[in-house]
């Protein structure tokens, strides 16, 4: 993938999971990497494992007052950002009926508003530079309504909508290519770090995530999608992939399946079994 040699790739949420795997995959192809996240020590660990130049730009994505300065810092490093990956995010595991309103605000700020801000702040720079690649890590839950994930699904649906609309404006006119990634279950800490009904961290994983795809395989598929300018990649297996496809091919069937599945999940959670 010679396309990425000497490119500058900026990845948010780069301290673990898909973000870390992407940093390693892009670096292996000769890209120089900007790593962002909240945990400086974790970012330093990832940077130490990369074979190319790296810059650490730590920040909290919802600290909106600093985002402009962080964008300026990232662009000043090598004079450009060729690839920007909106990966930072948080999931949810709670029933809507029990979830506090502020959980919705907090999660949507992280998973939707922050990616929009970070993208908007860079668009003029990307136009002036003659183009770029924007990668948005959404989710299969951004295509289907997933139980226990009402806030998460709302944010990820919104992210897909924003990026799809943005693509119509900037792809041909400005050579800014936009790729939406919809992972299913990938073996990361996404479930362990998920918000619960009161906004606290869940603190444990679940079987579907623990048995999910390797983040390195996900990263490899993402690089291939970007290299080939694929607008949307669904990286999922089995039922998750089938349901994502049903959203377009047979939405009535999808709603029937998710209603039955959701009822089973909700009943289990109502009884206190959130395993």
Which CATH number does the domain housing residue 200 bear? Answer: 3.40.50.720
- b/e burial code for range 106-121 (CB count within 10 A of at least 16 → b): bbbbbbbbbbbbbbeb
User: Which of these is catalytic: 104, 152, 162, 269?
Assistant: 152
What pLDDT, on a 0 to 100 scale, did the predictor assign at position 1? 57
Report how many domains make up the chain.
Answer: 1
Specify if 174 maps to a domain: yes
**What digits encode the pLDDT tens for the residues 215-235?**
999 999 999 999 999 999 999
| DSSP secondary structure string for all residues of 69-108 | HHHHHHHHHHS--SEEEE-----B-S-GGG--HHHHHHHH
pTM: 0.95
Specify if 275 maps to a domain: no
What pLDDT, on a 0 to 100 scale, did the predictor assign at position 216? 98
Specify if 257 maps to a domain: no
Residue 275 reports pLDDT greater than 60: no
To the query of whether residue 269 is one of the catalytic residues in this protein, the response is: no
In terms of residue numbers, what domain contains 94?
2-239
Specify if 207 maps to a domain: yes
Mean pLDDT (the chain, rounded): 96
Specify if 256 maps to a domain: no
What pLDDT, on a 0 to 100 scale, did the predictor assign at position 75? 98
What pLDDT, on a 0 to 100 scale, did the predictor assign at position 50? 98
Specify if 191 maps to a domain: yes
Specify if 258 maps to a domain: no
Specify if 263 maps to a domain: no
Strand, coil or helix: 163: helix
């Amino acid at each position: 993938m010679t396309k990425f040699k000497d490119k500058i790739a900026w990845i948010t949420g780069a301290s673990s999971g898909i973000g870390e795997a992407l940093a390693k995959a892009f670096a292996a192809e000769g890209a120089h990497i900007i790593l962002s996240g909240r945990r400086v020590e974790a970012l330093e660990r990832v940077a130490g494992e990369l074979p190319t130049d790296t810059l650490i730009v730590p920040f909290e994505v919802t600290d909106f007052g600093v985002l402009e300065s962080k964008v300026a810092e990232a662009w000043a490093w090598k004079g450009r950002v060729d690839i920007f990956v909106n990966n930072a995010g948080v999931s949810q595991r709670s029933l809507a009926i029990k979830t506090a309103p502020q959980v919705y605000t907090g999660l949507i700020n992280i998973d939707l508003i922050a990616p929009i801000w970070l993208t908007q702040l860079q668009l003029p720079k990307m136009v002036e530079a003659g183009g770029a690649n924007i990668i948005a890590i959404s989710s299969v839950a951004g295509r289907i309504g997933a139980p226990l994930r009402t806030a998460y699904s709302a944010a990820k649906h919104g992210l897909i909508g924003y990026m799809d609309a943005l693509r119509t404006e900037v792809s041909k006119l400005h050579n800014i290519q936009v790729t939406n990634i919809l992972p299913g279950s990938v073996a990361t800490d996404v479930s362990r770090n998920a918000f619960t009904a009161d906004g606290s961290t869940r603190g444990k994983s679940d079987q579907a995530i623990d048995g999910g795809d390797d983040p390195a395989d996900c990263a490899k598929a993402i690089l291939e999608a970007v290299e080939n300018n694929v607008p949307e990649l669904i990286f999922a297996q089995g039922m998750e992939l089938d349901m994502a496809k049903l959203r377009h091919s047979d939405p009535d069937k999808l709603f029937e399946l998710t209603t039955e599945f959701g009822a089973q999940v909700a009943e289990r959670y109502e009884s206190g079994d959130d395993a």
